[in-house]
Structure 1
């Protein structure tokens, strides 16, 4: 499949992801006897629409967004007399929370299904694989160097397993890399295993410059070794044993996604710097533009497992990002409902009647500010994905 077809296919996957997120809200709202006024995929000019029952369904010109307009979602939402019995704000707190969680739940379910397909079809990363740092090849450590590199000069060869750095165990290549990066200009002692025999090797660690996530340059240590991936790094599963494997890997991906979401604010300066020519970190945030472009690269090389893993990751990101307890995100609305419940519980202890729905007008400044932040951040990342995109190959 060609690159542009892959881009289009991944963009379609994003559109379906967003559409199913909104359908999650829609289906729970209908099940809880709420009225959905509009259900649209995309934003911008309307391409087509039709009405069925009390709901207008439609598609807009840019299918990379969507919305589910539920009558009476907040107390400031004007509700027609015939909509009053179906207003969301007048439903029990649990029904409102369930509706708000409908999109998040749908994204988690999509991610699980996609990972299960990958587990059965081509396999998932094997958590029991041996990830000990194993040398695939030795290299020089600066762009213009011509020597064999510090590791090769010290006698390290392909196939060697590096077990310790200065007496400290390094279970993985990344552990070894982190230690070495922190010792520029020093001499380190590596415990190396070759053909079952362990020996200590001293390696001089030169200071080199590497880009940082915030767009700067850091001086770190490097010895010039390329990691050899373990042969059993990917494990394919059967229809039954793929179930626990999928849940286990989902937990790992969700944990990594939480860390990624938490790291976004610190990465914004690096994204901005990349627009003006700084090197772009591979771990920096991407927009749908950047994700689709990488999807095209992956599809062009027919790496479909990676393509699907990216879609699963996208769904997990949308789920967790939407849980941030700030309006206008789903998590912000959920926080308001839970606050109402806690407030009324406290009032009940004092013999007072429930106070009714929260006054959303007091939240408007925060909602507007948060919306502006999201729009500016989205614009910055889109520009960075156009002028200085992340490249996997």
Structure 2
């Protein structure tokens, strides 16, 4: 059953991946056709074509490797300064430029002169290139809202799940008491599982975050008012000083960072609680910020990835994962010992973060990513507007093809990084637990 669920999870992720890619390319396709650009191909996947059908002047198809997709637009790059589009130089860099230029015109047909991508105004080209990543953002937002508002998130409450028997520093990362450990203040004061803390030091508590902060700020005698079997009881613990997990600006624990603070010694009960629209937006904002920071931190994670892939090093929980890694995680999700709705919500969150990553990654202003073409169109618009203000001659289209040598370098780096992540995902994968 475990193998079957793992395979099912991988298949479902592959299906979600195909849908996400097709949805991305649909954004490019629909806006390109809206602005009259001819699109000979709309393909989901790479490699050999396993199915295709031509409708109008576009061939729609699915390829064997579900690791990406593309549309082909006529005239992605302008002709050279002499108006020609054929390769004319033995220079390797010039060859890259002219090969890319020739590929942009290789399916040119009579009547296509007014259907070329580069002839559209810069703002239209920005829309065409932005539409693909934007579709991934729309899908991510829809999934986030659906999960946050329809299902909810794990929320800690002020109800006591369990009481710690002794004082153990969080930095020690152990669960069992050892001889010499001090008795936990909650245990000594008589706090019980099932109690709900309603006040701390005589003041009502709002939620777990409020209670946690006030406990951390207190070392020494305190009063804790709990509701137990319909009655309120006041306990008098003496809070100990202990090393506890450090919190970030959002109140979330920071991995492997600890600070001295007041310690009561109990585990709060967690419940699944649907969020309001405002709370959901706040959670999505946090997800975007964390994803941006993760992308910015990718270069610094390469040494750890290399060690995990080739030297048997630890694969950290925040390590980058690729398609293979995400598929394996999806297989683990379906094997979780949890209610079906929890499993579905977790699986959908994997897809949501995958689409959010596609959006952010594609917005990097580097060729061959969509953001690179957007940057080229914006630069062209700036040049032309400056020339207009200064009453100079129109500089014409910005020749993005001249950046192809840089694009090949960027693509090479991406491919090497992707292969490194792939090896790490196979030999030392990230695991849920």
State the TM-score, normalized to the length of structure 1: 0.78
The structure number with the bigger radius of gyration is 2
Cα offset for 1:270? Answer: 0.7
In the alignment, structure 1 segments of 5+ residues that lack a partner are 164-169, 180-188, 206-217
Question: RMSD across aligned C-alpha pairs, in angstroms?
Answer: 3.7
| Residue 132 of structure 2: aligned partner | 103
Distance 1:81 1:122 in 2: 55
Distance 1:258 1:155 in 2: 40
| Residue 361 of structure 2: aligned partner | 321
- Residues 135 and 257 of structure 1, relative CA distance in 2, 3 Å threshold: farther
**What is the aligned counterpart of 2:32 among 25, 29, 40?**
29
- Residues 84 and 155 of structure 1, relative CA distance in 2, 3 Å threshold: same
| Residue 15 of structure 1: aligned partner | 18
SS of the aligned residue for 1:357 comes to coil
- Equivalenced residues, count: 356
SS of the aligned residue for 1:369 comes to helix
| Residue 322 of structure 2: aligned partner | 287
Distance 2:173 2:283 in 1: 37
Cα offset for 1:219? Answer: 11
2:288 counterpart of 1:254 = yes
SS of the aligned residue for 1:389 comes to coil
Distance 2:221 2:26 in 1: 55
SS of the aligned residue for 1:36 comes to coil
1:41-60 alignment to 2 at 5 Å? Answer: 41-60=44-63
Question: Would the aligned equivalents of 1:2 and 1:300 in 2 still touch at CA under 8 Å?
Answer: yes
SS of the aligned residue for 2:184 comes to coil
Shifted more, 193-202 versus 273-282: the winner is 193-202
| Residue 424 of structure 2: aligned partner | 384
Distance 2:220 2:316 in 1: 31
1:1-393 alignment to 2 at 5 Å? Answer: 2-75=5-78, 76=101, 77-78=104-105, 79-124=108-153, 137=164, 147-148=177-178, 152-153=181-182, 155-157=184-186, 195-196=224-225, 197=236, 199-203=238-242, 228=267, 231=270, 234-236=272-274, 243-275=277-309, 276-301=311-336, 302=340, 303-393=343-433
Question: Would the aligned equivalents of 1:132 and 1:171 in 2 still touch at CA under 8 Å?
Answer: no
Distance 1:231 1:148 in 2: 27
SS of the aligned residue for 1:2 comes to helix
Question: Would the aligned equivalents of 1:104 and 1:318 in 2 still touch at CA under 8 Å?
Answer: yes
- Residues 193 and 97 of structure 1, relative CA distance in 2, 3 Å threshold: farther
Per-residue CA deviation, residues 42-96 of structure 1 (Å, 9 max, x unaligned), is 1111112221111111111112210011111222322444222111110111110
Question: Would the aligned equivalents of 1:112 and 1:247 in 2 still touch at CA under 8 Å?
Answer: no
Shifted more, 363-372 versus 116-125: the winner is 116-125
Distance 1:120 1:94 in 2: 36
- Residues 198 and 82 of structure 1, relative CA distance in 2, 3 Å threshold: farther
Question: Would the aligned equivalents of 2:242 and 2:260 in 1 still touch at CA under 8 Å?
Answer: no
Distance 1:194 1:12 in 2: 55
Question: Would the aligned equivalents of 2:149 and 2:280 in 1 still touch at CA under 8 Å?
Answer: no
Per-residue CA deviation, residues 104-142 of structure 1 (Å, 9 max, x unaligned), is 11011111221232134311466xx66999986566876
Distance 1:377 1:3 in 2: 26
Distance 2:43 2:258 in 1: 50
Question: Would the aligned equivalents of 1:133 and 1:227 in 2 still touch at CA under 8 Å?
Answer: yes
Distance 2:367 2:158 in 1: 42
Distance 1:117 1:361 in 2: 42
Shifted more, 300-309 versus 340-349: the winner is 300-309
Cα offset for 1:300? Answer: 2.4
- Residues 324 and 226 of structure 1, relative CA distance in 2, 3 Å threshold: farther
Question: Would the aligned equivalents of 1:112 and 1:246 in 2 still touch at CA under 8 Å?
Answer: no
Cα offset for 1:373? Answer: 0.6
Distance 1:63 1:174 in 2: 46
In the alignment, structure 2 segments of 5+ residues that lack a partner are 79-100, 201-207, 226-235, 245-255
- Residues 191 and 48 of structure 1, relative CA distance in 2, 3 Å threshold: farther
Distance 1:171 1:41 in 2: 45
